[in-house]
Amino acid sequence: MARRPLPRILSNGSAQLARSRELARTAADSATDVLHPLITITRGLRRLASAGRRRWVDTPKDRRGALLFGVAAVLLAVALAPYGPLLAVVALMAAAAWHGRDRTPAVPAGPAPGQLQRLKSLYEALVPYFAASDDPEPLYARGGDWGKVFSEYEFDGDGRLTHLLISYPAYFTDAEPASRARIEHLLGAKCGRGREYHFSWDEEANQLTVRVLAPLPTDIAAQPFVTAPGETVLGFTDPTRVQRTLPLTHGAHGEERTDVPPVVWRTGVRSTEPHLLAVGQPGSGTSTLLRSIALQALHHGDVVIVDGGGTGEYACLTGRDGVLAVECALSGAVTSLEWAAAETERRLAAASKAHQAGDPPPEDTRRPLWLLLDRPSVFTHLAAADDGGTDPQALLVAPLRHGRAANVTVVVAEQFDGLDALAAPVRQHTRTRVVLGPATAEQLEAVLGAPPHTTPVDQMPPGRGYARLGTGPVHRLQVPATPDPYDDATSEAHRQAVLDLLPPRTTPADEEPGPVPEAVRLDKAATEKVAAAAGLAPEAEVSEPAAPEGAAVAESSS
């Protein structure tokens, strides 16, 4: 069957359209070239006129007459002078041309020579990772065109890259973490060490965006944070993934004000990750994080602290309103956690009775109770050494499992080498995770459950690390400086910031335990261990769970 020819408009209409568009564009370009001097002079006249108007408006009313007279005299002189009007017009045009010139700074045509060298070497470094020998049109090839793959780039004043958009071939295995990690490692090294980079992979468009992250602020001290009940600020992060900001003071004496994106952890009945595990090397700042959490928790709740480190880092909290116990010894830890387990069950039973009766949960089940455990693995080892000794972690099962409904929150801080000693329920129920201080990629992934999207930094300041709430994104984190105010090395401003946040003391002055020298504390722990080994009864016994409000301070650190 013979094919009917396509209608004319369909066969060559679009070609004609394109040709006319091209003609119109050329005509417009030529017109712009011809009219350019006219456009410049018009713009200049407009600018001169508006400058004259401004001058007139700025002149005080009593001097306007003199100004008008001056202008009229000049005009008269010009009009009477030979060739005056002609010279005046020429001068005016020259002034207009000068003022009307285009003042937008010329955009550099491309990168400076040093920057070009960096881009070229980065391209060459990526070739082995992104090239395939059987690709007929390779994006990456030795001596290839870097301009095709780096569509956006920015440099800082020192000529180092701060932003880069990289295109890569579709066959690159960007869904595999190992492949991504190789590229991220290479880019981190080639773009300059000592800075942190954020990588954002767009698998659909086959593009990778690299951004340099500004360092997180390290001079933010503990302070009252503007949060709702049930919210705890773990620290501060980048604005990339967190939209909310907190108004804060910072600087050596808290003299500056700033808005910083926080990592906010929600606890309580509606929380999906009601317990927290913080891990780090010794000295990485996990105790500081626990202290920061305790100071925030004390606004609305009660706190029990179990300190396996035994260095008295929580002594400042002893005897304060809402602090039910600060335990540094195994027997005290067991006693307090037995009480906490019983209290959790009591709260559950009371709440369920109220539900059945159609009443709201009783008031004494709603006040948040916080169990903060620093290095519980130490007590686990001590309990194992004591034949038949109770492991405090075993007492955490009820608070961990039912804490959400009973308003009981468990926070555990542990060092990397003590992670193996953590009980299964602790690992299973602590779904908010924090890693502070230096950590390998494997350690980060093991604790957080996902790798961070940023390169590790060479020098980790104390309190710096990563946080992940449940299955959410991994955030960079800087914990607010919340030092032990009894530590001599603490700066006066930070010490005062913590002292200002401490609740008033509830223990009478003569019973106040006060800060205890480390040697005494350790002696006591050792004595108890021996006593327990000899089958002696623990020194403090709490059989009934006391009501949290106004509860006596269970003190084992004095």
Ligand X SMILES: Nc1ncnc2c1ncn2[C@@H]1O[C@H](COP(=O)(O)OP(=O)(O)OP(=O)(O)O)[C@@H](O)[C@H]1O
Tokens describing residue 412:
């555990």
* Least distance CB 378 / ligand X (angstroms): 10
Give binding residues for ATP as ranges: 280-287
Which amino acid does the sequence have at 205? Answer: A
* Least distance CB 265 / ligand X (angstroms): 16
Closest residue (Cβ) to ligand X?
Answer: 463
* Least distance CB 309 / ligand X (angstroms): 5
Comparing CB distances to ligand X, the nearer of 84 and 438 is 438
Is 418 a residue that touches ligand X (CB under 6 A)? no
Tokens describing residue 50:
């508006």
- Count the Cβ atoms, other than its own, within 10 Å of residue 320: 19
Comparing CB distances to ligand X, the nearer of 167 and 258 is 258
Please classify residue 326 by burial: count the beta carbons closer than 10 Å to its beta carbon, then call 0-12 exposed, 13-18 middle and 19+ buried.
buried
- Count the Cβ atoms, other than its own, within 10 Å of residue 233: 22
Distance, in Å, from the CA atom of 540 to the CA atom of 510, rounded to the nearest integer, reads 20
Q: Which of these ranges, 8-16, 83-91, 278-286, 317-325, lies near ligand X under the rule CB under 6 A? A: 278-286
Kindly report the backbone phi and psi dihedral angles of residue 477, in degrees, each rounded to the nearest multiple of 5, phi listed first: -140, 135
* Least distance CB 424 / ligand X (angstroms): 23
Length of the chain: 558
* Least distance CB 136 / ligand X (angstroms): 54
Sole binder of ligand X in the list 462, 465, 485, 548 (CB under 6 A): 462
* Least distance CB 484 / ligand X (angstroms): 7
Is 282 a residue that touches ligand X (CB under 6 A)? yes
Q: Which of these ranges, 106-114, 285-293, 360-368, 427-435, lies near ligand X under the rule CB under 6 A? A: 285-293
Is 463 a residue that touches ligand X (CB under 6 A)? yes
Tokens describing residue 303:
């706190």
Residues 307-336, one symbol each (x = binds ligand X by CB under 6 A, - = not), give --x-x-x-----------------------
Tokens describing residue 192:
């300059």
Sole binder of ligand X in the list 232, 237, 271, 284 (CB under 6 A): 284
Comparing CB distances to ligand X, the nearer of 208 and 317 is 317
Residue 468 pairs with which residues in a beta bridge?
433, 474
Distance, in Å, from the CA atom of 364 to the CA atom of 353, rounded to the nearest integer, reads 13
- Count the Cβ atoms, other than its own, within 10 Å of residue 41: 19
Comparing CB distances to ligand X, the nearer of 115 and 281 is 281
- The HSE-up count of residue 192 (CA atoms within 13 Å, CB side) is 17
Distance, in Å, from the CA atom of 449 to the CA atom of 433, rounded to the nearest integer, reads 9
> What is the full DSSP assignment across 238-249?
-TTT----EEEE
Comparing CB distances to ligand X, the nearer of 40 and 227 is 227
Q: Which of these ranges, 85-93, 208-216, 283-291, 506-514, lies near ligand X under the rule CB under 6 A? A: 283-291
Is 280 a residue that touches ligand X (CB under 6 A)? yes
CB within 8 Å of 521: residues ≥ 6 apart: 310, 311, 312, 328, 557
CB 235 within 8 A of CB 478: yes
Query: What is the footprint of ligand X within residues 469-508 (CB under 6 A)?
Result: 479, 481, 483, 489
Give binding residues as ranges: 280-287
Q: Which of these ranges, 39-47, 165-173, 276-284, 393-401, lies near ligand X under the rule CB under 6 A? A: 276-284
Query: What is the footprint of ligand X within residues 291-310 (CB under 6 A)?
Result: 309
DSSP reduced 3-state for 547: coil
Comparing CB distances to ligand X, the nearer of 309 and 503 is 309
Is 376 a residue that touches ligand X (CB under 6 A)? no
Comparing CB distances to ligand X, the nearer of 438 and 451 is 438
Q: Which of these ranges, 24-32, 281-289, 451-459, 543-551, lies near ligand X under the rule CB under 6 A? A: 281-289
* Pairs from 178-186 (Cβ < 8 Å, separation ≥ 24): 181/441, 181/451, 182/129, 183/126, 183/129, 183/208, 184/455, 185/455, 186/125, 186/126, 186/129
Query: Can you give the binding site for ligand X, defined by CB under 6 A?
Result: 280, 282-288, 309, 311, 313, 462-463, 479, 481, 483, 489
